[in-house]
Structures are given as C-alpha cells and as structure tokens.
Amino acid sequence: MTVETLLQQIGIRYRLAGDEAVAKCPYHNDGHPSWSVNINSGIFYCFACGAKGNLAKLIHDFLSISYEEAAIKANETVGFAKMDKWRENYDNVSFSPMAMKVSEMDMALFTDPPQDALKSKNITITDARQYEIMWNPVNETWVCPYRDPYSYELWGWQEKNHRIFRNFPPGTRRGRTLFGIQPVHNRTALVESPIDCAVIHHGSAGFIGAVASFGRPSLYQLQLLNERCDDLILALDNDSPGKAATKDLIYEAVRMFKTVKVYNYGMSQGKDPGEQLYDAVDYGLRHAIPALTWLRGA
C-alpha cells in the first residue's frame, strides 16, 4: 500500500505535483487546494490553516483509530518507522537533517527567469533579482529560496508552476523565516506568496519593501519582522482565509509596530497583489487602511 492508496481510503481527492499530492485541506473548509502531502515521507502541511503532521496523524484523524494503531498502520504499509520516529519531534527540529542540507552551490542549477515568464507575472528581471527569484529551466518552475533569518544561510527553496508545487528539502521550517527578509525596509508589506514581493517592489517603485510568509503567517514570523521594521502593511490574500488571518494578526501586530495598516484592494477582484496591475498595487499601498479601521469594517 502507498500514501496515494491511503489518501483514496480516506476520501481525499488530489492531484500529483512531483512528489507532492495536492488537495483541498481536509482540516478546514478550503476554497482551493492549499494542502499537500509528500508521497515519499507522508508529511503534510496546509498553507492556509497551518495544519501539519505525519502520516500516522493523518490516519488517526480520518480513519477513526487510535494514534498507536495509526502509527503501526503507517509503518507497516509504507515503511516509515525511522522517519516517523524522527518526525515525532518535528516542532523541535529547525531544519532538515544534515544529509538533506543544501548549499549556495545548489543555486547554480537555476537561472534568471526568462522574459515570457517574467511578463506572465508582470515583473521585471530587476524585481526578480531584488528577491533572488530564479528559474529551474528543467521543470520550467519558479524558484524562491528561503534563508536563516539571522545568518542568511540557505535553508532551501520553494519551486512551483501551474502543475508543480514543492518545497525542498522536505521538513524545512519555512514558518521560522520570511522570504525576502534581507534587507527589510522600515516600511514593509507582508504578503503570502514570494512572487508578490517582486510585484510590491515594482508597484511601489522600490519605496516599500515586502516579505512573504509562504502561506498563513505565524506569530513567530510577525516577531521576526518586528525586529526589523516599524511600519507594517498587511497585504494577505483577498479571500476568506487571508481575511481571517489578517484579523488574527491585527491584535498582535498593533502591539508590536509603530503603525499597522491593511492593503486596500478597493474594487479589485484580484486574490492577491500579484493578480493586480501596477496602478492598483500603488493604490493599495498608498491607500492602505489603518488596521483598527479595517477591523471595524471587516
């Protein structure tokens, strides 16, 4: 039996993207696929609600058996005994085992994004280079590296296109850093997607910085940002999970930052800044709404 077979047993409809099975999150009312499980390791994560765990947890939660029975089933069916034991301490591991570590030499595999790809995202090569956004010519995927928030050591990267979505190496805790964290402007926008950072950079003519949380931001990420800037613009996705995350963050953010505002989508139907034209991005930043005012109207 495989992870894919178990997903079918549980009733999770998915599509494969490399080593990841991508689906609507079974842990919350997901409007679009935000959840993925690695078909080799069995580790799952939702970029919208933050649900995460190993294969045993997934079996326990959705097949109505004890965790002990679920661990046995996971280990017997896909042979995860050693990996499952390591993953029990998932939250205590800051990044992947030494055997899976990456180095700057690995980035030599990638190139600058081609012009047609840049045009499709409405960014320039200057914007991409500002944020180390690169391109995998083999898979034709965007590559967005993430680093240690203090030493800037390379931890790994997110790679995606319309059919592939993966984080390499598996197990790296992206929630312990922020994409684009070096350098940070004193006035910074927090977005969910790395490429949106380049859009913000271009739309503000470089006057406002941007960092990305790779999904729903964590309180730890907010604290990292608090160490580096005074003025925050929350520019999370313009959908139900994004608005819910904005509400949750506001209460903490107003205690941390000199000013906190919320990106103004106005009448735009775009889900995020990356789906808007530059004049709309400029408007959203210039007319950002004071957080408590936005909260009253939400």
Amino acid at position 53, single letter: G
Q: What DSSP string describes 61-91?
A: HHH---HHHHHHHHHHHH--HHHHHHHTTGG
Per residue in 202-211, pLDDT (tens digit) is 988 888 999 9
CA distance 116 to 8: 38
Mean pLDDT (the chain) is 86
Segment among 60-74, 148-162, 252-266 with least mean pLDDT: 60-74
Can you give the pLDDT at residue 211?
96
Can you give the pLDDT at residue 254?
93
pLDDT higher than 70, residue 79: no
pLDDT higher than 90, residue 96: no
For residue 139, what are its two tokens? 């898979």
pLDDT higher than 70, residue 124: yes
β-pairing, 52-53 vs 134-136, is: unpaired
Kindly report the number of other CB atoms within 10 A of residue 184's CB atom.
17
What domains are defined for the chain? 3-92 (3.90.580.10), 104-297 (3.40.1360.10)
Q: Cis ω on the peptide bond leading into residue 26 (within 30° of 0)?
A: no
For residue 173, what are its two tokens? 């805790």
Can you give the pLDDT at residue 98?
41
Can you give the pLDDT at residue 179?
95
Per residue in 264-296, pLDDT (tens digit) is 998 877 899 989 988 999 999 999 999 999 998
